[in-house]
Amino acid sequence: MAGDENFPFDPGASSGGDYGDYGTGGGGSGGGGGGEPRWFSAPQSAGSGRVPPHNLQAEESVLGALLLSRDAIGAVGELGLGPRDFYSPANQNIFDVIRSIYSTSGPVDVVTVADGLRKNNMLDDIGGIERLSELQNATPSVSGAEHYAKIVMDTALLRRLIHTASEITDIAFSQPDDAVKAVDMAESRMFEVAEGRNVDTTRPVQDVLADTMEHLEATYERGDDMTGVPTGLDDLDAILHGLQPNTLNIVGARPAMGKTALGLGIATNVAKATNLPVIVFSLEMAHLELSQRILASEARVDSSKLQSGRLTESDWSKVGLAIGRLEVPLFLDDNPQVTVMEIRAKARRIAAQHGGVGMILIDYLQLMSGSGRPENRQLEVSEISRNLKVLAREMECPVVALSQLSRNLEARSDKRPMLADLRESGSIEQDADVVMFLYRDEVYNEESPDKGMAELIIAKHRAGPTGKARLVFQGHFTRFDNAARQM
Catalytic (active-site) positions: 284
Residue 179, C-beta contacts closer than 8 angstroms, at least 6 positions apart = none
For residue 455, give the 3-state DSSP assignment.
strand
56, 156 contact by CB (below 8 A) = no
| Strand-pair category, 359-363 with 434-439 | unpaired
CA atoms within 13 A on the CB side of 227: 17
DSSP per-residue codes, 238-283? HHHSSBPTT-EEEEEE-TTS-HHHHHHHHHHHHHHHH-S-EEEEES
CB atoms within 10 A of CB 131: 23
Q: What is the DSSP letter of 286?
A: -
CB atoms within 10 A of CB 365: 23
Work out the burial of residue 372: count CB atoms within 10 Å of its CB; fewer than 13 is exposed, 13-18 middle, 19 or more buried. exposed
The Cα 144–Cα 155 span in angstroms is 17
Q: Which of 455, 436, 437 is nearest to 247 (CA)?
A: 436
Residue 168, C-beta contacts closer than 8 angstroms, at least 6 positions apart = 186, 189, 190
Rg (CA), the chain: 29
Q: What is the DSSP letter of 20?
A: B
95, 83 contact by CB (below 8 A) = yes
473, 486 contact by CB (below 8 A) = no
280, 331 contact by CB (below 8 A) = yes
Angle 456-383-427 from CA coordinates, rounded to 5°: 45
Q: Which of 36, 66, 101, 51 is nearest to 81 (CA)?
A: 66
| Three-state SS annotation for 320-384 | HHHHHHCCCCEEEECCCCCCHHHHHHHHHHHHHHHCCCCEEEEECHHHCCCCCCCCCHHHHHHHH
The Cα 326–Cα 63 span in angstroms is 58
The Cα 480–Cα 426 span in angstroms is 28
